[in-house]
Every structure is written in structure tokens, then in C-alpha cells.
């Protein structure tokens, strides 16, 4: 394995570890709302934004967009 592929794997792992708490918080919030008696149809309306933002954050962490690596 080259250093580049190891770095990519580490970035994916770090991105997953960074985004996972927020994804779990969103899914926990959804479970809490459903437990309070929210109609299941609302789960389909609430879940896509949670997943979209989580995937967007994962991509940002994985590609290094959130790090200060820009050239001035």
C-alpha cells in the first residue's frame, strides 16, 4: 500500500468518526419524535435532511475541505 492510499483510508475513518455523533444525534431525535407519537410519514420527511447533511459533512471531512489547507 502506498502512503497515498493509507492517507485516504485514514481520512475516511476520521471523517466517519467526526460525523457519526451528529448522525446518531439526528437519528436519536427522530426516534424520540416517533416515540412521542409522531406519525411515521413525518419520519420520511425528517430523515432525508439528516442523511443529506451527514453525507455532506462526511465528504467535507474526507476531502479536507474543513481543514485550513487552502493556498493563499
Find out whether 19 and 58 touch, Cβ atoms under 8 Å: yes
What does the DSSP assignment read for 3-56? Answer: HHHHHHHHHHHHHHHHHHHHHHHHHHHHHHHHHTT--HHHHHHHHHHHHHHHHH
Residue of 32, 30, 35, 58 lying closest to 45 (CA atoms): 30
pLDDT at 57 over 90: yes
Whole-model pTM: value is 0.73
pLDDT tens digits, residue range 29-51? 999 988 998 888 888 899 999 99
Amino acid at each position: 500500500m502506498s502512503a497515498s492510499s493509507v492517507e485516504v483510508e485514514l481520512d475516511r475513518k476520521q471523517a466517519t468518526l467526526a460525523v457519526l455523533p451528529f448522525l446518531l444525534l439526528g437519528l436519536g431525535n427522530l426516534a424520540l419524535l416517533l416515540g412521542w407519537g409522531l406519525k411515521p410519514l413525518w419520519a420520511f420527511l425528517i430523515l432525508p435532511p439528516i442523511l443529506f447533511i451527514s453525507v455532506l459533512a462526511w465528504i467535507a471531512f474526507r476531502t479536507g475541505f474543513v481543514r485550513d489547507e487552502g493556498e493563499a
